[in-house]
Amino acid sequence: MPAEIQPLSGANTRGGVSTALQSLDAQRALLPYALIMFGVSLPIYVWAASYAANAVWMSTTFAVFAVNWGAFYAAVAWLRTDAALDTARRQRVHLLGGLLWAGAVAQIAVFANGAGPAREALLFLAVGAAVVCLFFTAPSLAGLLIVGPVAAAVPLTLLFLDPASRGAGVAAWGAIALAFALSLTLNRILRRQFAMAAEREALIADRAASLTDAEKLARSKSHIVATLSHEIRNGLTGVMHVLAAAAGQGGRAAPSREQLNAALHATGDLIAVLNATLDSETAEQGRLALDVEPFDPVRLVRELVLLNRPHAAAKGVEFTFYVEPELERRVIGAVVADASRARQVLANLIGNAVKYTVRGRIEARIERRGDRLAVEIADTGPGLTPEEMGQAFEAFRRVERTGAGVPGAGLGLSLSRQLATLMGGELTAQSAMGAGSCFTLELPFDATAPLQPEVDETVAPVGGRGLRVLVAEDDALNAAMLRAILEQLGHQVVHAQNGRRAVDLCGVCDFDLIMLDGRMPLLDGAQTAAAIRAAGLKTPIIAVIGGEADEARECLDAGADAVLRKPVTVAGVARAVADAAAMVRDAEARSAVA
């Protein structure tokens, strides 16, 4: 007879509803019918037992029934507790409950064997009780195979031992065999139903997860649209007024240096918002490209401090920089991460400290912590409560108390934490209202890695001349900006508006360097690089991409030597061109030796 269990919220599990749980639930569902069967059978058993001569034995039998029911309901009470969430333990309790009643059937059979004229009737009653056990354990295959045979063994054995009841034993054996076969059939049908229910629950769970993802994506897109529309509208409006004044529209006077600086800052804020939004979405989808290599953290942080110190000084805020002496003197040992992404995180932390600190001081500290290097940015700004700190790390959430009137998308800290995690590090924060905040970036540190020499980001001529550079870019503004940077660095530039034109130019002109946009009409960056390599050209190729890992991988697999992420900067282009110039020099040296 089954034991009752507490329904487990539809018995949902990660992969749907398990077959074992469903079988136990089915046994629980049969419990009311088992009670009805017991209620119907009890008067019959009492009537038959009244003919027994041994009143003590009969009383003992009723006592066994009472003990069984007490143990049974104790098991039912246990199965309603949290301890019953373990399926294996539940299965054992169900088996023990069934074996209790199999033992009761055996006791009835032994009592019936000495009941004189009522012997055969009572043994048949025990056989009927065994059939009942088979039926009510049918949902669980383990229970059916264990409890059923145990319940039927004693009454059948006693019927076959007496020659006078051997014929009745054959009939009872046939009844037991038929009941067992029908129970196995029922179990097979139920298991199929359980499998279908499990599959259905898995589909429902997948559908719910997909719906949750879709809602999350919709909210994210809504936040992006709301944020970008506000920031872009405000920023572009200011830039438009300055440009209109510069163009002399509406009789306006030429913009002042202060207006031009304000427009420049607004443009920088717009680029920062767009970059943060795109990087956040790319990181959320797991497609953010990382270039993990050793770099000098002290040099990186020092550059950022020197860059931001004038802004802090203009507000009367002191900006100090402390480096652990061991790191200052070290000639080996480097952080192993993406230098550009680490710079992005630290630039955001330092920028926030300068932006929100109106008095006092800011301190940047670098120290070693085991196999990690920690960079702390502490300030005496307004500070945040624990609730506000949680909001600060949520995407598209800004702290109203401190963020009013300050431009931003509310993505800086959220993106910084994502980038730190992707690089194998961690970004943590501590803050107190009115006292300030301290943000700590920890990154993997390799004490045996050699430090990279500083790169001269000025013009790197080849044999005293600038490079001949082919720029393939379909966007006119991007092409003009890249041309201006390259010409500023002393190089000659030829512009192709698409990949097919770039391939044609490579066939008739000699270039020292090719820079390809990752996304172009006719032929994209990867297809263009593949076509150039297929033509046998060994010219260094730099793919200028938007930052997606898939795009970078496609270009590198197609034959590009390096990737440069947009938006490009003078320093970034200088480093990339310097690397390309070194490749050209190596090629010319090998040619001269040959």
DSSP symbols for 264-332: HHHHHHHHHHHHHHHHHHHHHTT-B---EEEE-HHHHHHHHHHHHHHHHHHTT-EEEEEE-HHHHH-SE
Question: Measured between alpha carbons, how far is residue 249 from residues 232, 240, 256, 399 in Å?
Answer: 22, 11, 15, 39
pLDDT at residue 9 greater than cutoff 50: no
Cα separation of the two ends of the chain? 92
CA distance 327 to 402: 35
Determine which of 322-326, 329-333, 373-377 has the lowest per-residue pLDDT on average: 329-333
pLDDT for res 284: 60
pLDDT at residue 316 greater than cutoff 70: yes
Contacts of 585 (CB under 8 A, 6+ apart): 462, 463
Contacts of 101 (CB under 8 A, 6+ apart): 1, 68, 72, 129, 133, 147, 151
pLDDT at residue 96 greater than cutoff 90: no
CA distance 524 to 541: 14
- Which of 511, 449, 464, 459 has its CA nearest to residue 486? 459
pLDDT at residue 176 greater than cutoff 50: yes
Please count the other Cβ atoms lying within 10 Å of the Cβ belonging to residue 544. 26
Burial (CB count <10 Å: 0-12, 13-18, 19+), residue 349: buried
229 band by pLDDT with thresholds 50, 70 and 90: low
Q: 462-499: buried (b, 16+ CB within 10 Å) or exposed (e) per residue?
A: beeebbbbbbbbbeeebbebbbebbeebebebebbbbb
CA distance 111 to 52: 9
Determine which of 55-59, 370-374, 533-537 has the lowest per-residue pLDDT on average: 55-59
* C-alpha atoms less than 13 angstroms from C-alpha of 224 in its C-beta half-sphere: 14
- Which of 336, 371, 325 has its CA nearest to residue 449? 336
pLDDT for res 347: 86
Determine which of 145-149, 235-239, 405-409, 475-479 has the lowest per-residue pLDDT on average: 405-409
Helices (H) and strands (E) in the chain, counts: 19, 12
Is 379:362 a contact under the CB 8 Å cutoff? Answer: yes
Contacts of 131 (CB under 8 A, 6+ apart): 152, 175, 176, 179
Return the top range by mean pLDDT from 65-79, 207-221, 412-426.
412-426
Q: 34-45: buried (b, 16+ CB within 10 Å) or exposed (e) per residue?
A: beebbeeeeeeb
Query: What is the percent of the chain with per-residue pLDDT over 90, rounded to a whole number?
Result: 10
pLDDT for res 136: 79
Mean pLDDT of the region 499-519: 90
**What's the token pair of residue 265?**
């800052």
98 band by pLDDT with thresholds 50, 70 and 90: confident
Q: What angle do CA 272, 411, 305 make, to 5 degrees?
A: 60
Return the top range by mean pLDDT from 236-240, 277-281, 363-367, 447-451.
363-367
Determine which of 3-12, 322-331, 530-539, 556-565 has the lowest per-residue pLDDT on average: 3-12
Residue whose entry in the numeric block shows the structure tokens 């920690």: 374
Please tell me whether residue 254 adopts helix, strand or coil conformation. Answer: coil
pLDDT in tens, 249-308: 555 566 666 667 666 666 666 666 666 666 665 656 555 667 788 888 888 898 888 888
More confident residue, 179 or 33: 179
pLDDT for res 123: 83
Please tell me whether residue 71 adopts helix, strand or coil conformation. Answer: helix
pLDDT for res 405: 47
DSSP strand pairing (541-545 vs 513-517):
parallel
Please tell me whether residue 379 adopts helix, strand or coil conformation. Answer: strand
**What's the token pair of residue 420?**
């730190």
Question: Measured between alpha carbons, how far is residue 240 from residues 237, 251, 267, 407, 479 in Å?
Answer: 5, 15, 11, 18, 22
Mean pLDDT of the region 93-103: 78
CA distance 496 to 53: 112
pLDDT at residue 369 greater than cutoff 90: no
pLDDT for res 471: 92
Give the H/E segment covering residue 569: none
Mean pLDDT of the region 69-79: 70
Residue type, 59: S
4 band by pLDDT with thresholds 50, 70 and 90: very low
Q: If you average pLDDT over every residue of the chain, what do you get?
A: 77
Residue whose entry in the numeric block shows the structure tokens 């639930």: 25
Mean pLDDT of the region 447-468: 59
Q: What is the CA radius of gyration of the chain?
A: 40
